[in-house]
């Protein structure tokens, strides 16, 4: 009998998480399978009840459910409580436990690219569940200052109060400046739209986009054009997924297995997007 895991969100058809987890389970020698469960916002409570009824062992949680799912879980850990968002669920003794690995994925993505965040001025675009994890990660990294811009200013203010950061109106995003900018919204997902243009990105040294479809978003293309170091969202997805595997399996993959999963992850997105190895 195979244990069942999966990702819930809307949309999730584009998700590459099955690549990480199905290969990870295989490399760990576990009888487990991971799929995608597209769940409309209005169906979230019923979906969580279904998870319990079906005995699904674990979930990845993505947009737009990372915050609301907390209402339907039995227990969440201290970090998830502090962040206010959950991206990992474990079924244990018929209780659903919530965790957050997104913030670890963010930090490891910067670390892998040799970027130190300590004492840096960071701009975060967006104020949803992903932004909460990013801001938590920035605080852990001892950044000098974090500034949040969001279309709904009140949400930015709420984050500012929660994490002791700075909120600014969306209209002022064109004036944003700093050393690192992180795009956390869904803008650019399967489109050629960017939240800001190259004239804004020229004021930064490093740009990260949590969107990974396309792999090189317009946001990252603009950043590259003006000389920014760029970090794609797939790297963050990879590292947060590896942390999920640790939680679910209580096992750690060796470095050669991690390299294999990462290689397959990037190969799959290139296949999907019709990219060659030079891109």
Supply the residues annotated as catalytic: 66
**Which pair of tokens denotes residue 121?**
């001025």
DSSP per-residue letters across 124-190: EE--SHHHHHHHHHHHHTT-SEEEEEESSHHHHHHHHHHHT-EEEEGGGGGG--SSEEEE-SSTTTT
Per the DSSP assignment, residues forming a β-bridge with 124 are: 148, 182
Judge residue 115's burial from the number of C-beta atoms within 10 Å of its C-beta, 0-12 exposed, 13-18 middle, 19 or more buried: middle
How far is 74 from 88, CA to CA, in rounded Å?
13
- Integer-rounded Cα radius of gyration of the chain: 18
How far is 67 from 73, CA to CA, in rounded Å?
11
Q: Are 124 and 184 in contact (CB under 8 A)?
A: yes
**Which pair of tokens denotes residue 17?**
């998480």
Q: Are 56 and 28 in contact (CB under 8 A)?
A: no
Exposure string of 235-258, with b = 16+ CB inside 10 Å and e = fewer, is: bbbbbbbbbbbeebbeeebeeebb
């Amino acid at each position: 009998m195979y244990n069942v895991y999966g990702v819930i969100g809307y949309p999730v058809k584009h998700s590459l998480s099955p690549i990480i987890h199905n290969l990870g389970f295989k490399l760990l020698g576990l009888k487990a399978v991971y799929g995608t469960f597209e769940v409309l916002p209005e169906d979230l409570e019923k979906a969580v009840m279904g998870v319990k009824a079906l005995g699904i062992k674990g979930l990845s949680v993505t947009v737009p459910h990372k915050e609301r799912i907390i209402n339907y879980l039995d227990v969440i850990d201290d970090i998830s409580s502090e962040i206010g968002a959950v991206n990992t669920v474990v079924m244990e003794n018929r209780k659903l436990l919530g965790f957050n690995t997104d913030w670890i994925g963010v930090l490891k993505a910067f670390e892998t690219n040799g970027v130190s965040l300590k004492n840096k001025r960071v701009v975060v675009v967006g104020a949803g569940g992903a932004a909460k994890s990013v801001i938590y990660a920035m605080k852990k990294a001892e950044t000098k200052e974090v500034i949040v811009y969001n279309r709904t200013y009140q949400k930015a203010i709420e984050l500012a109060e929660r994490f002791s950061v700075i909120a600014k109106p969306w209209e002022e995003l064109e004036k944003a400046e700093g050393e690192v900018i992180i795009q956390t919204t869904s803008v650019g997902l399967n489109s050629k739209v960017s939240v800001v243009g190259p004239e804004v990105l020229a004021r930064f040294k490093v740009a990260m986009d949590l969107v990974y479809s396309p792999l090189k978003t317009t946001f990252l293309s603009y950043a590259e054009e003006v000389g920014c170091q760029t970090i794609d969202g797939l790297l963050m997805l990879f590292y947060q997924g590896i942390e999920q595997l640790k939680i679910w399996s209580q096992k750690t993959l060796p470095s050669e297995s991690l390299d294999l999963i990462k290689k397959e992850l990037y190969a799959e997105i290139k296949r999907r997007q019709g990219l060659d190895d030079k891109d």
